Chains A and B, each alone.
Chain A
């Protein structure tokens, strides 16, 4: 007699179980991405009822948009100045706190505070601190100058970049510091001691012993901060809103302006995909270059 009920277990059953979760992920993750790609090929803005297919029109517009390339340049300038400074300062602080000293843990906790604060709050706070009339920074500078100082930190074209970069460094150097401190603590102490006895200078020890050891962690920290800096928004929004004029408009701020002030929905989608394309190329190159794929 055949055992009719005896059939092999349904191997596909497990897929049915996770199907709802996968569907949910796709719905909230992949769908908007694809939908915005579709939108970028259309002619949608919030002022017009015409939503016809536009082909590559929006992408062609990108190349003619001087303000877009200006904002990319602003983004690159901020990244190129702030990233190395955060790295060097963070590394120097990490070296400083590598030594055991009384109160070390309290100092480390205090130093990390800026990173915990929400960037928009940090920006708003600095906006007040840097206020030309009532801000304590001009007041303190005034004590040293011996006269009233009235520096327009968020308006003066010569001062806006220093102000933005300063706030950015103030907020994110602790992030570098913390990661590099952890990396440095893991360097075998006897190796650096051996180098000390071998007569190696600080730089030589760093180059041949410390840097190779902390490199994987440091590279990832650089990558994370680099990506964050490329998307910088909050601090600038709070300090200058991209001004004076469009002088400190970064790619994120420009995209926001296009999307939610000009209501150029389709064009904004095209900008977003340009940014995705740029970041994909840069990150892929960086990962290969930094040897992180190994």
Chain B
């Protein structure tokens, strides 16, 4: 059964068309991440699901019920806001209990559930404090506590980690993933951070200009992007794009380098394309060339060590590409060497339609 079903949803703000007829179905218990660059409509979509924005047209069903015109309180949802939105004049306990008390849950039950949620999030010792007395990370935990204490069908997260510093963000990401595994509830999570999307999601819904560009499991999107946008958005460092021309068996770069595309038949020779290569699928030339790989001589231009790996920038076929190599593979710029490219992972894009061929 699906907990959320959106049909042909549109949202206009005056002349601005924020959400352009989106269809989306979220199965029960799934962790769905809505991701995309700012202005892609992901937050608007989430707020429309929550009922904080009215849909211009289309329908929203939650738990099998049409709630398109229902008030937020009648939708059986819980939400975590980007700026936490804690109630400043209530202490942590009353903050977490607010929703339950609003719904006239018996006080004994409120106590029990607040205690359990607080223990789950490691904030049991903070219950008497007020929001202003908490650190950013603690506030975020309270905000999450306020959501999970409720018995909702959908749990919505609107960029909950974007106000935290990098270290805390990593910790909270783990926390949220653990919570989802423990609770098994349906969660919808909005972020612009593709790493958050990749690490948290059961399914990523990638939005662009108010439309769903592609949706699926994180690895599915990473390995089999349907468009240049998806290919470029997911993955860090970003995918390299090199202009190329198709040949009978592969592609030719502008400097004459010919690269075989294993397992591809019936290519339209002579067609201008863009070759997409992930930095992770490029390695230092070893002893023997692995099957499906192509070896290319290069000159390293720039070296950025990240600890266990090193990001090396080099010119190839008229473009500047980045390869993610093992830490000690290259040490200084100017080095003349050779790289092996895993061509089985290469992506070929039609530059006109931006679709992956």
| B12: interface (CB < 8 Å) | no
| A81: interface (CB < 8 Å) | no
Closest chain A residue to B50, Cβ basis: A197
Interchain CB contact under 8 A, B85 and A188: yes
Interchain CB contact under 8 A, B73 and A198: yes
Interchain CB contact under 8 A, B89 and A208: yes
| A190: interface (CB < 8 Å) | yes
Can you list, as one digit per residue, whether each of B92-121 has a CB less than 8 Å from chain A (1) or not (0)? Answer: 000000110011000000000000000000
A-binding segment of B23-31, B74-82, B193-201, B295-303: B74-82
| B17: interface (CB < 8 Å) | no
Interchain CB contact under 8 A, A190 and B81: yes
Q: Least Cβ distance of B218 to chain A in Å?
A: 28
**Cα-based distance from A195 to B75 in the complex (angstroms):** 13
Contacting B at CB under 8 A, from A205-222, are: 208-209, 212-213
**Cα-based distance from A193 to B52 in the complex (angstroms):** 7
**Cα-based distance from A126 to B61 in the complex (angstroms):** 56
Residues in A with CB closer than 8 Å to B90 are: 208
Q: Least Cβ distance of A212 to chain B in Å?
A: 4
**Cα-based distance from A197 to B51 in the complex (angstroms):** 9
Residues in B with CB closer than 8 Å to A190 are: 81-83, 85
Interchain CB contact under 8 A, A209 and B89: yes
Interchain CB contact under 8 A, B85 and A193: yes
Interchain CB contact under 8 A, B73 and A199: yes
Residues in A with CB closer than 8 Å to B21 are: none
**Cα-based distance from A213 to B83 in the complex (angstroms):** 17
Residues in B with CB closer than 8 Å to A200 are: 73, 98-99, 102
Interchain CB contact under 8 A, A208 and B98: yes
Q: Out of A191, A197, A208, A212, name the residue touching B77 (CB < 8 Å).
A: A197
**Cα-based distance from A213 to B89 in the complex (angstroms):** 8
Residues in B with CB closer than 8 Å to A194 are: 79, 81, 85, 87, 146
**Cα-based distance from A195 to B51 in the complex (angstroms):** 13
**Cα-based distance from A188 to B89 in the complex (angstroms):** 13
Q: Least Cβ distance of B356 to chain A in Å?
A: 39
Q: Out of A196, A201, A204, A212, name the residue touching B52 (CB < 8 Å).
A: A196
**Cα-based distance from A200 to B78 in the complex (angstroms):** 13
Interchain CB contact under 8 A, B89 and A198: no
Contacting B at CB under 8 A, from A164-212, are: 188, 190-191, 193-201, 204, 208-209, 212
Interchain CB contact under 8 A, A196 and B81: no
Interchain CB contact under 8 A, A208 and B87: yes
A contact face: mostly helix, strand, loop, or mixed: helix
Interchain CB contact under 8 A, B98 and A195: yes
**A195-B87, A196-B71, A209-B89 are known contacts. Are A201 and B102 too (CB-CB below 8 A)?**
yes
Interchain CB contact under 8 A, A197 and B98: no
Closest chain A residue to B77, Cβ basis: A197
Interchain CB contact under 8 A, B85 and A199: no
Interchain CB contact under 8 A, B73 and A196: yes
Closest chain A residue to B97, Cβ basis: A198
Residues in B with CB closer than 8 Å to A198 are: 73, 98-99, 102, 146, 150
Interchain CB contact under 8 A, B88 and A213: yes
Report the interface size for chain B: residues with CB under 8 A from the other chain: 25
Contacting B at CB under 8 A, from A45-104, are: none
Q: Least Cβ distance of B91 to chain A in Å?
A: 12
**Cα-based distance from A103 to B85 in the complex (angstroms):** 30
Residues in A with CB closer than 8 Å to B89 are: 208-209, 212-213
Interface residues on A, range: 10 to 19
Residues in A with CB closer than 8 Å to B81 are: 190, 193-194
**Cα-based distance from A197 to B158 in the complex (angstroms):** 13
Residues in B with CB closer than 8 Å to A208 are: 87, 89-90, 98
Identify the interface centre among B79, B87, B98: most chain A CB within 10 Å of its CB: B87
**A204-B102, A208-B98 are known contacts. Are A197 and B88 too (CB-CB below 8 A)?**
no
| B72: interface (CB < 8 Å) | yes
Interchain CB contact under 8 A, A193 and B98: no
Closest chain B residue to A204, Cβ basis: B102
Residues in B with CB closer than 8 Å to A195 are: 87, 98, 102
Closest chain A residue to B52, Cβ basis: A193
Can you list, as one digit per residue, whether each of B141-175 has a CB less than 8 Å from chain A (1) or not (0)? Answer: 00000100010000000000000000000000000
**Cα-based distance from A190 to B139 in the complex (angstroms):** 15
**Cα-based distance from A200 to B150 in the complex (angstroms):** 13
Interchain CB contact under 8 A, A191 and B102: no
Residues in B with CB closer than 8 Å to A193 are: 52, 72, 79, 81, 85
Residues in A with CB closer than 8 Å to B82 are: 190
**Cα-based distance from A155 to B281 in the complex (angstroms):** 95
Closest chain B residue to A205, Cβ basis: B102
Q: Least Cβ distance of A105 to chain B in Å?
A: 17
**Cα-based distance from A199 to B79 in the complex (angstroms):** 12
**Cα-based distance from A188 to B75 in the complex (angstroms):** 22
Residues in A with CB closer than 8 Å to B146 are: 194, 198
Closest chain B residue to A200, Cβ basis: B102
Residues in B with CB closer than 8 Å to A191 are: 85-88
Q: Least Cβ distance of A41 to chain B in Å?
A: 50
Residues in B with CB closer than 8 Å to A212 are: 88-89
**Cα-based distance from A212 to B102 in the complex (angstroms):** 18
**Cα-based distance from A212 to B75 in the complex (angstroms):** 27
Q: Least Cβ distance of B106 to chain A in Å?
A: 15
Residues in A with CB closer than 8 Å to B87 are: 191, 194-195, 208-209
Q: Least Cβ distance of A217 to chain B in Å?
A: 15
What are 24 residue pairs bridging A and B, where the CB atoms are less than 8 Å apart in the complex?
A190-B82, A194-B79, A194-B85, A194-B146, A195-B87, A195-B98, A196-B72, A197-B50, A197-B51, A197-B72, A197-B75, A197-B77, A197-B78, A198-B98, A198-B102, A198-B146, A199-B73, A199-B99, A199-B102, A200-B73, A200-B98, A208-B87, A208-B98, A209-B87
The 9 closest A-B pairs by CB, nearest first: A198-B99, A190-B85, A212-B89, A199-B73, A200-B102, A194-B85, A199-B102, A196-B72, A190-B81
